[in-house]
Amino acid sequence: MKPLLTLANLSRLNSLTKYPSIPTYHALGDKGRLTPEVNVAFTSDVHVTEKVDGTNARLVCTPEGVLIGSREDLLWATGDLIHNPALGIVDTLRDFAHQLRDHSFTEAVVVFYGEVYGHGVGAAAKQYASQGTRGFRLFDVCLLKADLVSDMLARPAEQISAWREHSGQTFASVSACDALAARFGFARVPMSGVYSCDVWPRGLTDARDFLNGFAESKARLDGAALGKAEGIVARTADRSQIAKLRFEDYQRTLGR
């Protein structure tokens, strides 16, 4: 693999490894209200995890080092003395980055995606922490092979963005994510169950009622946190289908 961590490559590598948008389960209409249209019609068992309300973060593992990024920007790399302190992302993930650096990522770029949450992180901070504690929960892992990375880094930025938003990245299955989390010591987003696609709710009201069963967060960092969950993420085992269901979307549309 050609050198990756060069000034010329960083903006493209940033775009290449951003987390793609997850669609809402029901389509969004006027004024943020949901419509009866289903964006993702699940065709196999649905794995449900809690949607933690913090800030999206990523650990980008390359043969030359590990970078830490927010949803939009790269913030720090192993070996750097100065970092962007935004939302405590680097402070929360730096030890993980040093640990990952000691493993061999010679044939691919591997990206660990998760949520940094808790003290000082967004409006929902008190739902998870009553004191100065932050956590990180892993929700996805992406594998980008060396030849693909080399090819994509030679493309214009707009092509990389379009490729990413049209499912160009290859994500690990649920079981592979679990195995990688265990291997590297990551806490996973809380698992809420597996449901047959045959009984998965289709209508707006049914989805709202189903979602109400997951109102209490399992990701609290201490016992005094308020503990209100943001919603859930639903995916198939191979991650070929994925969607999010948020309480505020269904409450805005249907009321409580």
Output the pLDDT for position 200.
Answer: 97
Contact 71, 15 (CB under 8 A): no
What's the CA gap between 76 and 43, in Å, rounded?
A: 40
Output the pLDDT for position 87.
Answer: 81
- Output the six-digit token pair for 235: 């995916």
pLDDT digits (tens, 9 = 90+) for 146-191: 889 999 999 998 999 999 988 899 999 999 999 999 999 999 999 9
**Amino acid occupying residue 71:** R
Contact 75, 89 (CB under 8 A): yes
What does the buried/exposed string (b/e) look like for 194-229 if buried means 16 or more CB atoms within 10 Å of the residue's CB? ebeeeebbeebeebbebbeebeebebbbeeebeeeb
pLDDT digits (tens, 9 = 90+) for 16-70: 999 999 999 999 999 889 999 999 999 999 999 999 999 999 999 998 899 999 9
Output the pLDDT for position 1.
Answer: 64
Q: For residue 51, list its beta bridge partners.
A: 231
What is the β-pairing status of strands 231-236 and 65-70?
A: unpaired
Integer angstrom CA distances of residue 91 from 43, 52, 139: 40, 19, 19
Output the pLDDT for position 26.
Answer: 98
- Helix (H) or strand (E) run with residue 11 in it: helix 7-16
Residue of higher predicted confidence among 218 and 6: 218
pTM, 2 dp: 0.94
Which value, to the nearest 10 degrees, does the dihedral of the CA atoms of residues 47, 216, 32, 238 take? -10
Output the pLDDT for position 174.
Answer: 97
Under DSSP, the state recorded for 24 is: B
pLDDT digits (tens, 9 = 90+) for 94-120: 999 999 988 877 778 999 999 999 999
Contact 250, 34 (CB under 8 A): yes
Q: Which position has the token pair 């880094």?
A: 153
